[in-house]
Every structure is written in C-alpha cells, then in structure tokens.
C-alpha cells in the first residue's frame, strides 16, 4: 500500500509541476467550424505577438453541450484552464457566485472598458455586484435571413427583400428542385429560427415581454398566433433539408441547393470561407427585411481562479489583448460578428457587416434571448421547436399551447 | 470448531484484502454516487450542485415533459428488440460457428470487428448508409426501383429501428463471442450422450445446452442490458435524437438537461428514475441468484 | 427473422458424429447442411462487412467523387490524401496535427487501464467464486447495479472524489476511473468463469495447503486464458474508444485520440469531408482491430488450453 501511495503522490507532483510552466495559458472554447477556427487563431496570434505568453488551445468540438461539462468539471475539480469561452448572459452566474471565477475589474479599469464597450449592456452582462468577471469579445445577432442569389435566378425570380416575398417565392423554388429553406436538425437551430420570427414578425417588444417578463397572456395572444402561423409556413419550406449542423445548412445555401436560411451573423464566416461575395453571390436581410433590429448577444471569455501568480498575469494580459482595437478588427472580420467597441475601423468589412454596424449605430438593438432566458428555459424551447419543425402532425395551436406553458413556468 | 469473533474476521483474510478495491468501488462510488444523485434530484441545482431543496418539483416536471415520455418509449422498444434479437442472433451464429466449420477464424473476426469501433463511428457509418440521398435508398433508386422507400433516419415513426440496425451490427459480435465461449465450455460427453440417445441436435441445444449455459446467458444479459440503459453515443452520432425528438433516449435526456440545459436537478431526477427502474430488475435477480443458494 | 427458424429447420443429424463442437471433419462437402451453414454465414458476413467496405472505399476517394458518386462504387482514382490529412493535418481549433497528437496518449491511457482493471476484476471474480465471505453477495449485487448507472450521472461525483484524492487531471485518476467503470461487467465475467471451473481443483489445492494468491496464480490463471482474452477485448475497446472520461478527467496534454476524432468528425470546416472522417474513423479503430486479429488466434488457443481438463 505504501509503495502505491508513493507512486500516486509522485504522479500528482509530476502533474502539478507540469502545469507550473508559467505563461502557458490554456484556453478552452468550442469554436471549431471553418470561420470560427480562423477567428480564434487571430486571438492566439495577437496574444502571442503582444505578450510573452503562449496560447495553449483546448478546443472541444460539438458545441456547448460537449464543452461545458469539460469546463465545469475542470473548474470544480480544482484544476482549471486559464480562460474559457461562454455565451454571454446568464450561463456563468453560478460560477461567479461560487467564487470560482476571477474578478477582472482591475483590467477593465486599466483598459477603460467602461468607455469603449458599446453597447454598454455587454459589459453589464459581465458585471455581478459591481465587479466585472468577463471580457466580451464580439456581438452576435440572430436576426438574419441569408439568401442564395443563384437559386432565385434559376427560377427567374427577383431575390426577395423580406420574409413575405421569400414565402411567396418558395413554391417556385420547390418546383425547380431547390429546397426553399435550409434548417439543420439540431434543436437550438429550430428554437433560434422561431425566436427570430417572433422578434421580427411580432416585434422586439413582444419578445421582451414574453421572455423578459414571462407574460403568458402575451404568449397566448393573437400576435403570437400569427408567428406560429409563419412558423408553420416555414415548416413546409424546410422539408427536405436533411442536414444536422448549422454550417451544413448554410452550405446548402452556399451551393444553391437551398433558397435561404435563418441563422445568426456567424453564418457569414462560412460564406467568406467559401469565397462568396455579399450582394452578388448571396444576400443578407437583417431583421428578415421586416424590421431592422439586431440582438446583441455574443461571446465572452471568463477567467477561473487559479491562485497562481504567473497564470494570473497571463490572464490579465489575455483579457487586455482581447479588446484591443487590432484584435477586435482581425477577430470579428473572420468570425462575421461585430466588434464590441465602436471606435475601431472596419473598412474592410463587407456589405452585410456594414448593415449590421449601421443598425447597431442607430441603436435599433434588442437583448439576446440568452440574456433573458436561463439555459433551462432555452432547452425546453429547443425541445418544443425541434419537434414542431420536424413533425408536421403538431398543429400550430398545440405548439402555442405548449409554448404558453413554458413561458408561464419560466424563472 | 469454536471460532471466536476476531478469528472469524481474519478467516480468508487475503480474500478480504483482495476484495477491498471492489468494496470501496461498490460503497463509495456506486452507493455514494447514487445517494448523492438522489439527494440532489430534490434540489433546484442548475449549473452547479447546490443543496437548495424543492421537494418533488423536478419529478413533477419530468413526468409532464413529452420528451421524457418519448424517450422512455424509445428505450422500451429498442431495449426489447435489442435484447431478443442480439441474444437469438448471437446464439445462432455461435452455434453455426461451433459446427467445426472451415474459416471459423475469419467468420468470427468479421462478426466481431464492429465491436472494435466506437458507437460514434458506428452511428456515423450507419447514418451514412441510411441517408436517403446517397445511401442504400439512392443506390436502389439508381438501379431502377424508384418506388423503393427506405429512409428510417428521417421518418419519426421508424427512426428507432434505424438505430437498432446499427446497434445490432455493433453488438451482436460480442454476444456471439460470449456464447461461443460458453458452448466450448460444454462437456463433450453431453453431446455424445445426446447422440447416443438419438436426441436431435436442436433439441439438445434448447433443452440441455442452453440451460447449462445459464451463467453465460446472465453475463450476456447484463452486458446487453447495461448497454441498452446507457444508450447515448449511438443516438448522438447517428440521429442526434432526431428527427425532432423522435429518437430520444433517457440517457440523452439526462445529459442534455444536466449539461446543455444547465438544470442538474432535472437531470438527476431523470437519472434517479432510470436507477429505480434498474433496481426493480436487479433486486429480484440478486434474490434469485443468491437467495436460493444459502441453503445449499 | 429467418434466423430464428434456423435451428428448427436444420435437418436432424442422423448418426454421423459431426454436430459436436470438436467432432471429426465433415465427410460430404456439399451436404444440404453445409450449404445452409456456409450460406447463412456468408450472408451475415456480407452484412457485417458492408459498412467497413463503404468506409474504406470512401476514405480513398476525393471529395468531388464522393459528391457525385455512388457510395458503394470503388474509387476511380485512389488517393491517400484523406488518410494523411486525418493523421497529421486535420485541424481542431488551432491545432492542425490530426490524430497523431493523441495517439500516444491513448496508448498511455489504455495499456495501464486495461491491465489495472483486468487485474482487479479477475481477483474480485476469483474471491467471489471461490472464497465467499460474508457480505460478498451484497457487494457483488451493488456492483452489478453499478453496471447500469449512466456514466453521465457519475461525472460530477467522481470529479469531487478525484479532487479530494488529489488525482484530478492526472493519468492515475483516469486509470482509476476506467478501473471503476470496468469493474462490474469484468467481475461478473470472471466470477462466472471461475465458478464454472471444476471445484475439485480448488479443493485439492486447499488440501495441499495452498493459499489465496498461490491458487490464483498457479491454478486459476493458467486455466483462464479465454476469459482474459474476452475481458481484454471488452476493455481495450471500451477504453480506447472512450471520449467522455478522457476529456473530462484529464487535460489537453493527456487527451486521448478520440478527442481529436470527435473534433475532426464534429467540427465541420465548411463542407463535411466524409473521406477524412472515414479515414480518421478507421485510423482510430485500427488499434482495437489489430488486437482483435491477434487475439482472435489466442482466443482459440486459450479455449483449447482451457478445455484440457486436469
């Protein structure tokens, strides 16, 4: 027994020694698609160029569902990574309350984040009890309709300029053997698309009332009935897009096999990687062309408590680097998202990004669903809408009734 | 022998010391972990386990969730089919291989190799073969039979059978292997005696050999059943639970709520129900297995 | 379902001694019975080989060919590029060194984990079968119960356990986790096997004054090759293919190959590269496959050795 124990302690000591090599900062994230990987590489490059530290990449593919248990285990297991990516919003609240994440207020103050981060709501989502715990890196909005120009040319139709025109153009696309709309099979895409329909067809206020205030009456009301009707139309349009991942669905649009897709602005990264040009190859309609509004969700980096001075110095350096103007430009151009600071020059941005920037500048913004709902509520919505979009036997009324239940019981 | 207490404790002392890892695993990990899970299923734990008790709320919600009911139904269908088919196929294949045939090695390797591949891989390959656009269906269409319709993964009513095809492909080899090991353990004299008595071989199998292979069958059953209860990777890789939620299973429900939905309490409640169901099966089994033997 | 009818439809063997597992070679090569047996086996073998064939063929095709072609068609132009890419170039995030990154980690994890879990479980099985002590059955029942606990449920309790033991994130911790989760089924396997060995052997050894370990090493082990091979097949497969434990209980510098496989298969860089996916899949499965081919022979030899009764 004694010898086993010695071996055990020796091994742990070895492992502990391994992690003391300072200035190696392990960063865990789930950005592994083409555009995402290219974007995160910019972070690593800037981080290593501007500081002496090394970026140790801990990418876990498969999205938050796969990566999150890894992150949480590492943190509660007492062997955290140097930094990790989470969606902005209510997801990290508990880790902060449990004192597992580092207070980064000193970096925020030194870098003047309060003055540069725009909209300020991004920083608010990082703030708990007046302390700042995360570094917001980008703004993502969901409310985009991506259309393949070639698909409409093939059917001798003008590229739609709003949702209704798109719905009207669908039968001709179907006849030409083109799936009118692409939708991946993963649950979050279904609920995401529905939330976009809700935010645009019923308006951001309705969304705010339902998700923000849990207004079940509004959820059962006429406005929402119309949204469910639209969703029911959409269900017919997405028949036949047999793909799972969001970027596979985007790829159907890129290769003109599908007419369009409702997806967040990150889809733009895929168009860019494929060498497509906004305006000529594809068209983007913010707010589905119905109402010009974008949500301001996004990604943020959090920094676990490690108790190691050298790691902390590297964490500070990373946090500062993430919001530097150069980094913001390089990263967001690749990722297809908007920078968190309005003082950077995005001249090289393409048409779609510029549209996004304009809307952001005009202040037509709404909170992201992630900031209003807990992941638990989102998960319930996922279950409902993935079932609704894949199973035509569920009527719009039944779906609405279940929707009302979820809203009524949300916390 | 008048064994006093301390001596009794030290009887078979090496055996007891050797069993320490097993006892620790059983008590600390399995009993401790289960108790922990059950306790936290009564809490409103979200991202982190927190002892904030909410009574039966999580269970109430669980049984009101359509997705949970769908996943239970799927597990039941998959479980029964998998259990019956893999046992029957595994045994029949083992019996065929046991006929002193040529190329036994080759056949056995072919039947067993899928087991070397993970469920992720199995799911991926079969997702592909069953894809209506370029899998088996499209090939048969191209051969001229265009009315042929075989797209189990995109048909909510039969998707679970699409998963079953892949599950059987992966798992039957091991069952066959275990059965073969069992058959080889049967005494030669049994066969000779049966032959002398003129009993047809199928009768010998069913009435003599199979009852003798009871331990092998129990092992196999436990292996198959635990695989069924834990069924998760295959679903994720092959269908992602879809179309919609049509191929969801309890383990996926648990995982999704624990880590995707950040509602540990709900996940624990669902897993407590799963564990309860397992207990309902394991306890009578243990009683039969050990209860009767004490008198021998 | 024709297979269920198979046993009953097999013609009853008349007199000639060939039903038995170790009977003499069949005399007539093309008897109805032989055609039936080989026919069934060949059909089943084809069903089993089809996916492997598709995987290999696909991994040797270029993407354009895959998009146009029939998945069952042999490649028009054979390319090994997908294999090279899967092994050495495929990216996850920033690391573009494919599966090669995790290969040795997988070996470092699998070898000790398989050895440790089999060693512990075989001793357990032996103690349970031959040295029944009070309460053994209860522990065993709990162990079997443990075989049914979904891994995901135990994720956090084990994180806490490892943290308290100071083993979190280390190889030792991961080996322990694999041993724990391998224990139920393996113990059952060994217990049943040792129970099926003739009891006289054990009793004779006890009369000769042999102790616990002596009997285990000198009598039980030499007779147990077949069951060790089965256990090894189970464990090598399970541990080599494990993704969840490897990724949750270790750090990136110890991540097994399956983490890269997941990353290659799950992260789509633009178009899904099916050929690279298939090559990566085959490469990852190669080690267990090779072990199967090697141990397949051992398996038979083990059975032959085990059947020689003392």
Q: Is B241 on the interface with A (CB under 8 A)?
A: yes
User: Token pair of A42, please?
Assistant: 């910019």
ipTM (interface predicted TM)? 0.82
**Cβ <8 Å between B241 and A187:** yes
Residue A307 lies in a domain: yes
Q: Are C270 and A274 an interchain contact pair (Cβ–Cβ within 8 Å)? A: yes
For residue C309, give the nearest of C230, C207, C197, C195 by alpha carbon: C197
Q: Residues near A158 by Cβ (< 8 Å), separated by ≥ 6?
A: A152, A165
- Say if the Cβ atoms of B116 and C120 lie within 8 Å: no
Asked if A134 and A319 count as a contact pair (C-beta separation under 8 A), the reply is: no
Instruction: Give the SS3 label for residue B231.
Output: coil
Whether B36 and B129 share a structural domain: no
Of A7, A58, A270, the CB nearest to C252: A58
Do B169 and B217 sit in the same domain of this protein? Answer: yes
Q: Domain extents for chain C? A: 29-79, 100-307
DSSP SS3 for C192: helix
Quick check: C92 and A70 CB within 8 A? no
Residues of C in contact with B275 (CB under 8 A): 145, 148-149, 153
Residue B221 parent element (H or E): helix B214-229
Is A375 in CB contact (< 8 Å) with chain B?
yes
Three-class secondary structure of residue C95 per DSSP: strand
Cα separation, B132 vs B151, in Å, equals 5
Interface contact flag, C159 A77, Cβ < 8 Å: yes
Q: Is the separation of the CB atoms in B242 and A238 below 8 Å?
A: no
- C-alpha span between C306 and B185 (Å, rounded): 9
- For chain B, the domain total comes to 2
* Number of domains within chain A: 2
Residues of B in contact with A69 (CB under 8 A): 258-259
**Distance (Å) from the alpha carbon of A327 to chain B's nearest alpha carbon:** 30
Across the interface, whether the CB atoms of B230 and C150 are under 8 A apart is answered yes
B124 pLDDT tier (thresholds 50, 70, 90)? confident
Domain containing B23 equals: 1-40
Do both A176 and A265 map to the same domain?
yes
Residue A176 has a pLDDT of 92
Against chain A, the chains showing at least 3 CB pairs within 8 Å are B, C
| Residues in chain A within 8 Å Cβ distance of C265 | 61
- Furthest-apart CA atoms within chain B: distance in Å: 85
Q: Does C250 touch chain A (CB under 8 A)?
A: no
Query: Does residue A1 sit within a domain?
Result: no
Please report, for the domain that includes residue B291, its CATH number: 1.10.3720.10
Same-domain status, A254 and A302: no
Entry field: residues in chain B: 296
Write out pLDDT tens, residues B62-95. Answer: 999 889 999 999 999 999 999 999 999 999 999 9
Q: Is residue A174 part of a domain?
A: yes
Distance of CA A180 to the CA centre of its chain: 24
Cβ separation B262–A98 shorter than 8 A: no
What confidence category does residue C271 fall into, taking pLDDT thresholds of 50, 70 and 90?
low
Residue B47 forms part of a structural domain:
no
Cα–Cα distance between B196 and B130 in angstroms, integer?
A: 50
Q: Are residues A310 and A328 in the same domain?
A: yes
Residue B155 lies in a domain: yes
Residue A202 lies in a domain: yes
B30 and B127: one domain? no
- Residue A288, domain member (yes or no): yes
Q: In terms of domains, do A81 and A105 share one?
A: yes
Name A221's Cβ contacts closer than 8 Å, sequence gap at least 6: none
Specify whether A247 is located in the same domain as A133.
no
Structural domain span for residue A166: 144-295+366-409
B33 belongs to a structural domain = yes
Reported as a single tens digit per residue, the pLDDT across B232-284 is: 889 988 888 878 888 999 999 998 888 888 888 999 999 999 989 888 888 88
Contact C65, C76 (CB under 8 A): yes
Chains in touch with C (3+ beta-carbon pairs under 8 Å) read: A, B
Instruction: Please report the residues numbered 6 through 65 in chain A whose beta carbons come closer than 8 angstroms to any beta carbon of chain C.
Output: 7-9, 11-12, 15, 18-19, 26, 29, 31-34, 37, 40-41, 44, 55-62
Same domain, B121 and B239: yes
Task: Flag whether residue A73 sits within 8 Å of chain B, measured between CB atoms.
Answer: no
Considering the domain delimited by C100-307, tell me its CATH architecture.
Answer: Orthogonal Bundle (1.10)
A387 touches chain C (CB under 8 A): no
Residue B52 maps to a domain: no
Residues of chain A found within 8 Å of residue B259, distances taken between Cβ atoms:
65, 68-69, 72
Distance from CA of B47 to the nearest CA of A (A): 7
pLDDT value, residue B286: 81
pLDDT in tens, chain A (411 residues): 444 444 444 444 443 333 334 478 999 998 887 778 888 999 999 999 888 889 998 888 877 778 888 888 888 888 899 999 987 667 788 889 889 999 999 999 999 999 999 888 888 888 888 999 999 999 989 999 999 999 999 999 999 999 999 999 999 999 999 999 999 888 889 999 999 999 999 999 999 999 999 999 999 999 999 999 999 999 999 988 878 888 889 989 999 999 999 999 888 878 887 888 888 999 999 999 999 999 988 889 999 998 888 899 999 999 999 999 999 999 988 888 889 988 887 777 778 888 888 998 888 889 888 888 888 898 899 999 999 998 888 999 999 999 999 999 887
Confidence of residue C267 (pLDDT cuts 50, 70, 90): low
**C163–A78: do the CB atoms touch at under 8 Å?**
yes
């Amino acid at each position: 027994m004694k010898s086993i124990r010695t071996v055990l302690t020796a091994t742990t000591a070895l492992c502990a020694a391994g992690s003391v090599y300072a200035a190696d900062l392990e960063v865990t994230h789930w950005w592994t698609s083409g555009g995402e990987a290219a974007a995160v590489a910019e972070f690593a490059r800037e981080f290593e160029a501007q500081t002496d530290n090394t970026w140790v990449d801990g990418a876990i593919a498969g999205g938050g569902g796969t990566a999150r248990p890894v992150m949480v285990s590492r943190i509660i297991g007492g062997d955290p990574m140097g930094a990790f990516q989470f969606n902005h919003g209510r997801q990290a609240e508990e880790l902060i309350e449990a004192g597992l994440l580092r207070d980064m207020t000193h970096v925020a103050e030194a870098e003047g984040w309060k003055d540069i981060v725009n909209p300020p709501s991004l920083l608010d989502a990082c703030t708990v009890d007046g302390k700042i715990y995360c570094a917001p890196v980008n703004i993502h909005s969901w409310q985009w309709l991506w259309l393949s120009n070639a698909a409409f040319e093939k059917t001798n139709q003008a590229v739609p300029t709003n949702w209704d025109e798109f719905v009207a153009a669908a039968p001709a696309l179907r006849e030409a053997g083109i799936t009118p709309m692409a939708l991946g099979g993963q649950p979050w895409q279904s609920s995401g698309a529905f939330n976009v329909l809700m935010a645009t067809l019923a308006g951001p206020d309705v969304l705010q009332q339902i998700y923000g205030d849990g207004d079940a009456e509004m959820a059962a009301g006429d406005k929402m009935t119309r949204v469910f009707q639209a969703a029911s139309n959409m269900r017919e349009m997405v028949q036949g897009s047999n793909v799972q991942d969001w970027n596979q669905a985007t790829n159907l649009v890129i290769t003109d096999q599908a007419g369009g897709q409702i997806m967040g602005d990150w889809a733009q990264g895929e168009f860019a990687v494929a060498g497509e040009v906004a305006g000529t190859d594809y068209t983007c309609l913010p707010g589905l062309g119905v109402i010009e509004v974008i949500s301001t969700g996004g990604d943020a980096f959090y920094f676990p408590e490690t108790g190691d001075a050298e790691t902390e110095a590297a964490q500070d350096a990373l946090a500062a680097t993430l919001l530097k103007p150069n980094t913001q430009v390089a990263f967001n151009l690749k990722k297809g998202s908007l920078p968190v600071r309005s003082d950077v020059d995005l001249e090289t941005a393409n048409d779609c990004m510029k549209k996004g920037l304009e809307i952001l500048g005009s202040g037509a913004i709404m909170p992201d669903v992630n900031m209003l709902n807990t992941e638990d509520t989102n998960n319930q919505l996922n279950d409902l809408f993935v079932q609704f979009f894949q199973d035509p036997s569920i009527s719009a009324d039944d779906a609405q009734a279940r929707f009302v239940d979820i809203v009524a019981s949300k916390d | 022998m008048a064994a006093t207490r301390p001596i009794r404790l030290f009887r078979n002392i090496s055996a007891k010391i050797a069993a320490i890892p097993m006892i620790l695993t059983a008590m600390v990990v399995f009993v401790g972990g289960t108790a922990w899970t059950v306790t936290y299923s009564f809490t409103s734990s979200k991202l982190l386990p927190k002892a904030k008790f909410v009574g039966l709320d999580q269970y109430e919600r669980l049984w009101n969730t359509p997705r949970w009911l769908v996943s239970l139904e799927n597990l039941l269908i998959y479980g029964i089919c998998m259990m019956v088919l893999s046992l029957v196929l595994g045994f029949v294949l083992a019996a065929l291989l046991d006929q002193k045939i040529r190329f036994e090695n080759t056949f056995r390797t072919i039947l067993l190799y899928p087991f070397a591949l993970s469920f992720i891989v199995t799911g991926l390959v079969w997702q592909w073969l069953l894809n209506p656009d370029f899998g088996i269906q499209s090939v048969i269409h191209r051969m001229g039979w265009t009315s042929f319709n075989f797209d189990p993964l995109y048909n909510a009513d039969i998707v679970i059978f699409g998963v079953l095809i892949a599950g059987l492909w992966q798992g039957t080899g091991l069952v066959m292997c275990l059965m073969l090991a069992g058959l080889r353990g049967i005494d030669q004299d049994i066969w000779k005696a049966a032959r002398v008595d003129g009993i047809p071989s199928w009768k010998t199998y069913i009435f003599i050999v199979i009852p003798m292979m009871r331990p092998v069958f129990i092992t196999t059953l436990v292996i198959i059943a635990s695989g069924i209860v834990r069924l998760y990777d295959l679903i994720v890789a092959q269908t992602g639970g879809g179309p919609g939620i049509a191929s969801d299973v309890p383990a996926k429900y648990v995982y999704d709520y624990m880590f995707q939905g950040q509602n540990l309490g709900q996940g624990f409640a669902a897993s407590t129900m799963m564990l309860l169901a397992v207990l309902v099966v394991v306890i009578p089994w243990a009683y039969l297995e050990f209860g009767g033997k004490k008198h021998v | 379902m024709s297979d269920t009818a198979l046993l009953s439809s097999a013609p009853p063997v008349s007199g000639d001694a060939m039903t038995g597992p170790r009977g003499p070679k069949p005399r007539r090569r093309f008897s109805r019975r032989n055609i039936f047996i080989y026919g069934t086996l060949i059909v089943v073998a084809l069903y089993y080989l089809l996916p492997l064939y598709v995987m290999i063929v696909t991994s040797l095709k270029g993407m354009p060919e895959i998009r146009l072609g029939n998945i069952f068609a042999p490649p028009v132009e054979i390319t090994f590029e997908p294999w090279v890419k899967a092994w050495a170039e495929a990216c996850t995030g920033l690391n573009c060194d494919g599966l090669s990154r995790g290969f040795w980690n997988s070996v470092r994890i699998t070898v000790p984990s398989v050895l440790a879990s089999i060693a512990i479980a075989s001793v357990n099985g032996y103690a349970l079968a031959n040295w029944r002590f009070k309460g053994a059955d209860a522990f065993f029942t709990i162990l079997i119960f443990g075989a049914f606990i979904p891994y995901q449920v135990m994720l956090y309790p084990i994180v806490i356990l490892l943290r308290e033991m100071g083993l979190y994130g280390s190889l030792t911790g991961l080996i322990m986790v694999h041993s724990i989760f391998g224990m139920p089924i393996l113990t059952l396997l060994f217990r049943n096997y040792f129970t099926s060995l003739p009891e006289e052997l054990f009793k004779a050894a006890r009369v000769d004054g042999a102790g616990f370990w002596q009997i285990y090493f000198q009598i039980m082990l030499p007779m147990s090759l077949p069951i060790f091979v089965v256990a090894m097949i189970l464990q090598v497969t399970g541990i080599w293919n494990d993704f969840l434990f490897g990724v949750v209980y270790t750090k990136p510098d110890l991540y097994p190959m399956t983490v890269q496989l997941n990353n290659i298969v799950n992260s789509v860089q633009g178009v899904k590269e099916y050929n690279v996916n298939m090559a990566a899949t085959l490469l990852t499965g190669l080690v267990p496959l090779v072990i199967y081919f090697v141990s397949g022979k051992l398996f038979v030899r083990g059975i032959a050795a085990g059947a020689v009764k003392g």
